[in-house]
Amino acid sequence: MKLNPLPLDEVRRIAEDVATSCDPDLRVVGVLRPEGASAYAEVMVVDGRRQVYPSRLMIGIDRSTSAPACRATIEDRFRRHVAHRSTD
pLDDT tens by residue, 8-67: 999 999 999 999 999 888 999 999 998 887 899 999 999 887 666 668 889 999 999 999
On the question of pLDDT at 71 being above 80, the answer is: yes
Q: How far is CA 39 from the centre of its chain?
A: 15
Q: Which amino acid is at 73?
A: T
pTM of the model as a whole: 0.86
Angle (nearest 5°) at CA 70 between 75 and 49: 30
Closest CA to 14 of 56, 79, 64, 69: 69
Predicted pLDDT at 75: 96
